[in-house]
Each structure stands twice: as C-alpha cells, then as structure tokens.
Amino acid sequence: MTDGKDDGSSGDKPAALADFDAEKLRELIQRLGAQVIDDAPASKLQRETEAEKTAVHEFWHTQPVPKSSEVVKQDAPLHPPLPAEKIPQEPYALPEGMAWCTVDIEDDAQLRELHDLLLNNYVEDTDAMFRFNYPFELLRWVTMPPGFNKSWHVGVRNSESGELVGFISGVPVDIMVRDRTMPMAEINLLCLSKKLRSQRLAPLLIKEVTRRVHLVGIFQAIYTSGRLLPKPVATCRYFHRSLQPRKLIDIGFSGPVEGPQLARLVAAMRLPQTTTTKGLRLMRKGDVSQVRKLLNRFLKTRYEVVPSYTSDAQVAHWLLPRENVLWSYVVDDEAHPGKITDFFSFFSLPSQALKPGQAKKPAAKNKRPAGGSQKKPGSDTLNAAYAYYYATNAGNDVELTAEEKDGCDGAKKEKALLREKQNEAVKTRLVALFGDALVLAKNSGFDVFNCLDMMDNAMFVNELKFGRGDGFLRYYFYNYMARDTASAKIGFVML
C-alpha cells in the first residue's frame, strides 16, 4: 500500500504532467487496465470465433440453443412449454459414489461448504493467479431474492464422505427481450471440484437444474460465460479503472509500469477526495418505489435485454445498500425535495491472489478480470468494485428548437436529432455520477473499479480513464432464439 501522496488520493494535478506526452499516458492507462501485454484482446476474440467454427459441443448440440453458425432473424422460443407428463419427476442418474442434494443457503455450515467449493474451484485466470472469493453475504444476496426456490440450489456430494463437490444455482427473474417479457431462470455459479471435471458432471448439473426449473412452469433461462459456446446473444468486454495503481501492479493484476512512468501514471489517476454531485446520498428504504419507477423507465427506453422489476420487494432486495456487498446512491432534486433524479450502484466481489507477492510477468496471457472486497485489505486480496445498475432522468426534458426542427428533413431525422441530444445529456450526467462513484469506491478502500461495455458505460469509460481489459463476458439464452444484440443494448447485470 502507498501513502496519500502517491496513491491517487489527491485531486491536484502535478505540474510534471504538463510535459508528459498525452498519447504515452493513454498507453500507460491502457496497460494498467489490460491484463494482457502481448496478446491483443481483439485478436484473442477473433481466434476464439474462428476456433468455434470447427468446435464440437457434444452437450450443447443436444440442447435448445442456436448453433454457432446459425443466423437468428426473429426472436422466439425454440420449443413450446413441455407438458407436465413429459417433465422427468426424478433426478437424473449420477455416477456411482455421487448423490444429489439441495444446498441450504440459510444454513451457515452449508453456506461455508459452498463458499469453500467456489474459492478452491471456481473462476480463475488461465495463469492461476486470481480466483473469485464470494463472501457469505454476497452469496445469500445472489441466491435468495424474493420468490427464490430452494430446490434450484442444486448440489452434488460424495456419497461416502458427504463432501460438496458440485453446485449450480438458479433464481427467478422477469426478462424483457425487446418487446417481450418472460419469466426466466437466471443460472449462475456452476462449479465442480477440479478432481471430478473429467467425469462430465457439468452437463448433468445443467440438466438437473433445468428439470427443477421446468417443474414450476418456467422454460427459458439466461446465463453468462467467459467461454464461447453456442451461441451468445451478446459479447461484452471488461474495462478497468485503477484506484490503486501500485497495488494492481504489485499483486500481478496489471502489466508492469516502472520508474518515472509509474510516478506519472499514479499522478494522472488521482481522484478528488470528495464527491461533487449536489444532493447525492445513500439510498434508503423509503426511496425504493421511486427508484423502481426511475430504473424501469430508464432500462426499457434505452436497452433491449433488461430485467423487469414488478415489485418494490425486488428492488429492495437487489438495490438497497448491503454492508460490505452493495453500495447504492440516489440524488435528491434540490429544487424539488424528495424527488429522486438519479441512481447508481456498485458491488464488491473479492478475488484471492493465488500467488501472493508474485507480480505478473509481461508475457502473461488470457487473464480473467478479478474482483475484491474492501473490508479485508492485504497483499493477497484484490479489492474491486463492479458497476451495477444506474438510472437518470437526464435527457427526459430535452426538446428540439423550432430552428432544429426546420433543419430536419422529415420525422425520421427529427427523431434521430432528438435522440442525439438526449444521449448528450445522459453522457454528461453519467460522467459526473460515475466520477463520484470512483471517489466513493476509492474512499471505501477499493483498488480497482470494473465494468463491462454494456448499457451506456461506453459514455464514461474514456473520460474517467478506464483501460480496456482482455476479458469478455458472453450472454446466452436457453430455449430462446434472440437476434444478435450489441453490448450497449444489454441492460441486465449478471453477478
């Protein structure tokens, strides 16, 4: 860790920066954000796409998902709902020595088992330097929303020892895909003990949670993966904004930057110590109804794949602040006290450094982004904030002047100009809001602030000095054909 002088906490701009080449600074910021030095993300994505053309997916080719080469021209389910008599009533057969179980997330002992399974076996980068470390509180938040079904917390145990060796979760969610809203299952946390991965238990976990979801009359699902499978509806890219440049380099998250370049980079990444948005405060329970209306309107008018929050209870669960897990802020309209004009949030997801003290080598390849927890600082923990949901009413009152209307040749151009002006208003507001989010995250002890290029995040990443990461996250539907969707039109955040 560094002291306040060179850890990016000051808002003053050093005079030395005036003589520092702007292009070189952009390169250094990019290096700090990207976790790969010698493998351009674009070429990585291209290679994965080419490899997928000849890949064989024995399991996925038996499932109701589009083929990798298939061009989807119309949104629609692949198969109609199954009649009850065609849904298996008994669990699928497991290999000898394995048994199904339902993991009780409310039981501390079982939750610890799940935590340990994930910590030792879940998502890690290909250099085996970082792995997600889900806190108990976050696991309960992710798996226990209003209306959750305990039977969707599917586990596999060793029949003899009782050890939890596999897990997959599902939670109910209403998803709007363009003009159609459907009940779906959000599938997450698929994890197997490394020693069992050769036994092809992952397809069985997927089939079993699908069976249990079908039993309650839901036949579509949404899920994400860093891997390229048949067939993503969207591919999103990670961006990273350094809050503690020295630690990111020391822990191996970022590529090496040394000497005067590092000092200049640290100076360039400094943030103010306080926020600037008037009326900004933590979200409270009494704000839930207003936030729900503001968020639903913002999501549905700007994006094509979004959640639909139909109750205040859902918003209270997903968006009210949670200690050490979720930070949510609203902006009170000073001219109209009690009226909320803006909302933003970010969450913490810890990652453990598997090789503490070992800095990344310049030739490291294909590293997954990592997360962190601000309450357990240390050299082996990367403390990362992740952008979550936000909404603003900026742009709602934008209108074209009579002169602007006269300059438009028809209603189509008039509509396009209005949209452009609205986007300008939204961009200005988001740059201000997420500038404050960076300050709040830094003051809470985070080392890095991460986001995907989904929603309108592209509007602020350059202005706020995010660097492009080398990681990608793909969105998929199960039993639903959806046209290719730009990352900026994805408005559903998977945790």
Residue 238 CA to residue 60 CA, distance in Å, equals 26
Residue 152 CA to residue 212 CA, distance in Å, equals 6
Out of 204, 243, 248, 495, the active site residue is 495
φ and ψ at residue 28, rounded to 5 degrees: -70, -40
φ and ψ at residue 93, rounded to 5 degrees: -70, 135
Strand runs labelled E in 212-287: 221-225, 234-242, 280-282
Bridge-based pairing state of the strands 384-392 and 448-452: parallel
Residue 252 CA to residue 361 CA, distance in Å, equals 8
- Taking the alpha carbons of 458, 346, 126, 156 in that order, is the dihedral positive or negative? negative
Residue 319 CA to residue 307 CA, distance in Å, equals 13
Fill in the DSSP letter of residue 216: T
Name residue, tokens 């009413």.
393
Residue 320 CA to residue 122 CA, distance in Å, equals 27
- Taking the alpha carbons of 115, 120, 125, 131 in that order, is the dihedral positive or negative? positive
Cα 250 to Cα 124, 198, 256, 262, 381, distances in angstroms = 18, 35, 8, 12, 11
Fill in the DSSP letter of residue 17: G
Listed in sequence order, the residues at least 6 apart from 385 whose beta carbon sits closer than 8 Å to its beta carbon are 327, 346, 347, 348, 372, 374, 437, 441, 444, 446, 448, 449, 450
Fill in the DSSP letter of residue 448: E
* Annotation marks residue 495 as catalytic: yes
423-427: which pairs have CB atoms within 8 A and are 24 or more residues apart?
423/395, 423/459, 424/395, 425/394, 425/395, 425/398, 426/302, 426/392, 426/394, 426/395, 426/456, 426/459, 427/456, 427/459, 427/460
φ and ψ at residue 144, rounded to 5 degrees: -130, 55
- The catalytic site residues sit at 495
